A and B are shown apart, each in its own frame.
Chain A
Amino acid sequence: SQTIHQWPATLVQPVGSPLSLECTVEGTSNPNLYWYRQAAGRGLQLLFYSVGIGQISSEVPQNLSASRPQDRQFILSSKKLLLSDSGFYLCAWRWAGRGYEQYFGPGTRLTVT
């Protein structure tokens, strides 16, 4: 079976500090990977998606970047956090070539102070 992990689960960081959030998927190969951000009580905003190692598509110009160094690893980064970067960050995956169900990880709650 497939499992998606995200860490850390929660993070409190000061403004101007760097960020690294990690997402890994088990039990599948060559998945499509996604990063979303969810503001409190709001919907999901797509930030980045990747269809393969080193292939990143950015959806929203912002203070964040993403990388995919390995097939099942997706990393969200920032060099200098802003207050507006606070939110709930969700990683998701889809089994490329096998239907269009998309599955989400448990999320990381980021608070920038």
Chain B
Amino acid sequence: GQQLNQSPQSMFIQEGEDVSMNCTSSSIFNTWLWYKQDPGEGPVLLIALYKAGELTSNGRLTAQFGITRKDSFLNISASIPSDVGIYFCAGHDSTSGTYKYIFGTGTRLKVLA
């Protein structure tokens, strides 16, 4: 099935550094979701975006809905060890009448203390 491209696939960063990752699609979405998944657990919803150009924050996390509606970005400021995990993006197009979400391939984040 269709998957969104997430970049980078994985990254090692030093504690305290800022992190940026993105998600791109060949299709237009009107909803972007960002999740974090810890090992052995279900993904946890971090941020939901509904409007092109929208910038939304959740603590140290900030996500943006790309103006082309084909991409989204997630930034983590001042990373800490508990930021370790896999970050997934997901897109949804409610105008198509579908109930399905398209997920990204994931960005694996590892933080060096």
Contacts and interface: CB of A to CB of B under 8 A. Distances in A.
A70 interface: no
Contacts of A49: 99-100
Interface string B76-107: 00000000000010101010000111011110
Nearest to B32: A100
A104 B34 CA distance: 12
A99 B101 CA distance: 13
A43 B99 contact: no
Contact of A101 (B3, B33, B94, B103): B33
Contact of B45 (A43, A57, A103): A103
B85 to A, nearest CB: 13
Interface string A83-94: 000001010101
A53 B55 CA distance: 37
Contacts, number: 58
Contact of A59 (B1, B45, B48, B88): B1
Nearest to A104: B42
Given A59-B1, A105-B42, A106-B42, A100 B48 contact: yes
B94 A43 contact: no
B31 interface: yes
Interface string B28-48: 000101010000111111001
A82 to B, nearest CB: 20
Given A46-B1, A100-B31, A102-B101, A107 B41 contact: yes
A107 B94 contact: no
B42 A44 contact: no
B92 A43 contact: no
A101 B45 contact: yes
A51 B101 CA distance: 14
Nearest to A57: B99
A90 B105 CA distance: 16
B90 A43 contact: no
Given A46-B1, A109-B40, A102 B90 contact: yes
